[in-house]
């Protein structure tokens, strides 16, 4: 009995060592790829492209998903004070029967920035325009890191046709044989790759931009990845032509308390990821805010 137990303990220990070695190799491989991006001779022969082609892009890949027709996505933009009195932004506040209705930025001002003046983002290089959105209103508002008490235009967009995307937001699992074949933990390697799309660190942008560009060139419509702030899903769509994505409407919300609490004026509700009762929507205070704002915004 003792001999059998000792043998089992020994096997478990050696398995632990092997798993540790494969995890270490995955870390090393990922760091080597990141470091290679600073090399002047970085080319399409880099191993990251081989891994994307053979694992992520294979026909039956667990990373492949469909963003279905009629899916609603949300895109937020902090409202600039300079836009309050402009007539071409779509911004307005109206009141009827003591109920306020707001309109955020119109379609032209809610989509991505024009080509050529777009700053670099997580998945795009400077000058290249992609469509960034979120699966829910709270994530969309949180992602733009607006200042406290600022106003936000929250736009809704509808997916017009099925879009084929790579989903880096989901949990994935790999056969152990695959890790043995590549001599590294695939779960650990792709965990590091997927989390790089969520980290709020601009130092990793070159890597995520290169991965996104490679996937785009294969015909993939976009990416999904987890929000660092809410844990929900963010999307990057490479082509936001009106045949793919259509503007539905927009409304004004206020960044009223913490980073994840916003007041939705149209629906007299609180967009939040917590249950703090003191942050709940206050109709009286909200109406005071809207009455003051209506003097500035164009009314409809």
From first to last of its 300 residues, the chain has per-residue pLDDT tens of 577 766 766 667 667 788 899 999 999 999 999 888 776 555 666 889 999 999 999 999 999 999 999 999 999 999 998 888 888 899 999 999 989 999 999 999 998 766 667 788 999 988 888 999 999 999 999 999 998 889 999 999 999 999 999 999 999 989 888 888 999 999 999 999 999 999 988 889 999 999 999 999 999 999 999 999 999 999 999 998 999 999 999 999 998 876 567 889 889 888 876 666 667 788 888 888 888 888 777 544
- Domain extent listing, the chain: 2-294
Question: Could you give the CA distance from residue 104 to residue 39 in angstroms, rounded to a whole number?
Answer: 44
The confidence score (pLDDT) of residue 300 equals 46
Spatial distance between the Cα atoms of 79 and 158, rounded to a whole number of angstroms: 22
Nearest residue to 187 via CA among 168, 172, 208: 172
pLDDT for 148 equals 85
- What burial class does residue 227 get, using C-beta atoms within 10 Å of its C-beta: 0-12 exposed, 13-18 middle, 19+ buried? buried
Radius of gyration, alpha carbons of the chain:
24
**Residues 119, 123, 129, 132, Cα dihedral to 10°:** -100
pTM, rounded to two decimals: 0.86
3-class SS of residue 252 = strand
Structure-block tokens of residue 273: 């990821």
């Amino acid at each position: 009995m003792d001999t059998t137990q000792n043998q089992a303990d020994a096997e478990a220990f050696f398995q632990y060592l092997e798993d540790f070695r494969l995890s270490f190799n995955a870390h090393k491989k990922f760091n080597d790829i990141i470091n290679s991006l600073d090399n002047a001779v970085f080319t399409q022969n880099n191993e990251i492209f081989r891994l994307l082609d053979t694992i992520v892009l294979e026909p039956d890949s667990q990373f492949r998903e469909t963003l279905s027709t009629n899916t609603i996505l949300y895109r937020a933009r902090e409202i600039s004070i300079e836009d309050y009195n402009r007539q071409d932004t779509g911004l307005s506040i109206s009141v009827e029967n003591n109920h306020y209705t707001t309109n955020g930025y119109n379609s032209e001002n809610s989509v991505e920035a024009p080509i050529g003046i777009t700053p670099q983002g997580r998945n795009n290089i400077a000058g290249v325009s992609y469509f960034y959105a979120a699966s829910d209103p709270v994530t969309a508002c949180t992602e733009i890191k607006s200042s406290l008490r600022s106003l936000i235009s929250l736009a809704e967009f509808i997916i017009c046709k099925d879009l084929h995307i790579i989903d880096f937001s989901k949990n994935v699992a790999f056969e152990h044989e695959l890790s043995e074949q590549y001599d590294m933990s695939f779960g650990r390697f792709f965990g590091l790759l997927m989390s790089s799309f969520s980290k709020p660190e601009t130092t990793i942008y070159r890597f995520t931009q290169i991965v996104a560009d490679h996937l785009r060139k294969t015909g993939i419509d976009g990416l999904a990845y987890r929000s660092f702030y809410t844990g929900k899903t963010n999307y990057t769509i490479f082509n936001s032509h009106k045949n793919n994505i259509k503007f539905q409407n927009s409304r004004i919300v206020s960044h009223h308390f913490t980073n994840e609490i916003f007041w939705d004026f149209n629906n007299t509700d609180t967009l939040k990821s917590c249950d703090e009762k003191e942050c709940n929507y206050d109709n009286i205070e909200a109406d005071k805010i809207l009455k003051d704002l209506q003097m500035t915004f164009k009314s409809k």
